Structure 1
Amino acid sequence: MSLVNALDFSGKNVLVCGASDGIGYGVAKALLEAGADVSITGTRTAEDYDNDFSGMTFYSLNIQDADSIEALAQNFQTLDVLVNCIGSVLWGKAEFEREGFEKILTINLTGAMQLCTEFFPLLEASKGNIVNLDSVVSIRPAPANPAYTASKAGLVQLTKALAQKWGRKGVRVNTLAPGMVPTKLTANQSSPEQEAEFAKTCPAGRFGTPEDIAGGVLFLASPLAAYVTGHHLVVDGGLSL
């Protein structure tokens, strides 16, 4: 393997779930620029979003519906990399109610598990890999979001369990924890005033960007990480320190 060309994804089939916007969209664009054949998912149709999906194949996915995940997998004959960027949160006190708590775990954890298992046969055939995106809350819990915190912490351990289970079959499984990145999910936390306050405590002195996260994903998905599995890569500008 040439380390110089390790980030060339030409000829690789990649699926980025949860890539209609935000971090997932940034990851998908980076993989597309690296030469990959990129498919993405969103909860609605491609026409319902303002982003440019040129060069990507778009699929609508209801991550809460097991049949929808199974149907998505039927569209693929080969797959080299699965990136799970799906995540949802409820504000107010909704995550303290059973219905809200179960909804977030279904989306963020149960859905991630089914994505991994549905696509495992194709990844085993290609000796491919999975990159799950958890969150810095898996290290520093968010007291107002118990379901989001629990689901993302659970995703870290799920990733490690799958890495142990599938390693000898040639499939690597890693997870990446983004820090604070302004997206629709964090819109109530990312005003210019909030960023100024954040910069005082974060060693990097700024919010992260989707491109910051994409760099970590490309590393984990590439041959540069050929001997890396079950790893939890934290990309948070030092926030969790």
Structure 2
Amino acid sequence: MTAYSSAINLFDVTGIVAVVTGGGSGLGLFMTRALATNGAKKVYILGRRKHVLEQAVAEIGQDNVVPLQCDVTNQEALKSAVAFIEEDIGYINLLIANSGIAGPSGSVPPGSSITHVQEALFEISMQDFTNTFHVNCTAVFYTTIAFLGLLDKGNNNQSYRNGRSQVIATSSIGSFNRRITAGFAYGASKAATTMLLKVLATYLVPYRIRANILCPGLFPTDLTTDLIHGKDPTEEGAFPLDQIPAERAGTPEDIMGPLLYLASRAGAYCNGNCVLTDGGRLSVTPATY
């Protein structure tokens, strides 16, 4: 029997130092709460909107959550955030690259003529399409690179012993879904993010830094307001079986659980893994997973 035989110990994140980009809202807020209320030493939440970050800190009500205004698409802003954390505590054990945007939808009703399809999709601004990749993939890369030094120092710090330092990116089942639900730009950018983290998992092996991916399905957040209508989407029966076998959208616990798994001793053997939490949606959707 090891010290980790108890589930409480196995999923323990006490003492972890983490950074969560986009940690003030949506899935980022759920993940911040999961870490902060389960014993994290510090959770730095990064985002562009200062008031959103401060509201998140007040809502969570823990003194271990530190808001840092930072635009993850700006290299100088990332350097400033790293410098602050280095001065404040000197290392991190976990980076959650969570910031993302929905991008242009370019939705076309089923049965549309090829002319209608062409017109609707060609009207999407190239700049908007490219910006989706810029936020969802390019910024994840530069955020990861910016924090490598602090992750390396996390491996050399003995205050948290539940696994080597790691990066977790929030991707999406959209990176595997061949049926367009949130637009070509979103799905393609998330596929790029998923592949990026797999490559980083291999690339960072000599430095003993892991990389894993969370791929959520439909959760009620600011990004999915256009996809959810009517009654409470998290109530069982809100969706038909042929759309989501669980018949509901995800709840905070449905992302908190997989995160705590990866962040704790329970997931310490994972590297280059995609953890799906989608209520079975990919099982009824043409997909590449």
TM-score (norm 1): 0.92
The equivalent residue for 1:40 is 45
Once the two structures are TM-superposed, the CA of residue 187 in structure 1 deviates from its matched residue by: 0.8
Deviation at 1:97, TM superposition (A): 2.2
Aligned-residue identity in percent = 28
Larger displacement relative to structure 2 (222-231 or 2-11): 2-11
Contact 1:131 1:173 in 2 (8 A): yes
Among candidates 173, 177, 191, match of residue 215 of structure 2: 177
Alignment pair present for 1:123 and 2:151: yes
Match of 1:191 among 229, 235, 243: 229
Alignment partner for residue 147 of structure 1, among 168, 185, 194? 185
Aligned match of 1:18: 22
How far off is 1:214 after superposition? 1.5
Structure 2 portions without partners, runs of 5+: 107-120, 156-164, 284-289
Matched residue count = 241
Of 47, 54, 57, which residue of structure 1 is paired with 2:61?
54
Do the aligned partners of 1:27 and 1:211 also contact (CA within 8 Å) in 2? no
Deviation beyond 6 Å, 4+ runs, structure 1: none
| Residue aligning to 2:91 | 78
Q: Which SS does the other structure have where 1:40 is aligned?
A: strand
Aligned-partner Cα distance in 2 for 1:181–1:49: 23
1:103 and 2:107 correspond: no
Matched residue type, 1:169: Y
1:216-239 alpha-carbon deviations (Å, 9 max, x no partner)? 111112121221100111110100
Conserved in 1, the CA contact under 8 Å of 2:53 and 2:67? no
Partner residue of 1:7 out of 3, 11, 20: 11
CA contact 2:102–2:132 (8 Å) conserved in 1: yes
Partner of 2:73: 64
Aligned partner of 1:162 among 174, 193, 200: 200
TM-score, scaled to structure 2: 0.77
Shift of 1:144: 5.3
Q: Which residue number in structure 1 is paired with residue 101 of structure 2?
A: 88
Distance in 2 of aligned mates of 1:143 and 1:208: 16
> Deviations along 1:146-202, whole A, 9 cap, x unmatched?
211111001111111110011232111100100000011101112235945624321
Partner Cα distance (2:135, 2:129) in 1: 10
Task: Give the structure 2 partner of residue 138 of structure 1.
Answer: 175
Matched, 1:218 2:260: yes
Name the CA distance, whole Å, in 2 between partners of 1:112 and 1:150: 14
Q: Distance in 1 between matches of 2:148 and 2:52?
A: 30
Instruction: Name the SS of the counterpart of 1:237 in structure 2.
Output: coil
SS at match of 1:200: coil
Question: More displaced, 198-207 or 56-65?
Answer: 198-207
RMSD: 2.1
CA deviations over 1:95-125 (Å, ceiling 9, x no partner): 9321001211111101000111111111122
8 Å CA contact 2:104–2:185 kept in 1: the answer is: no
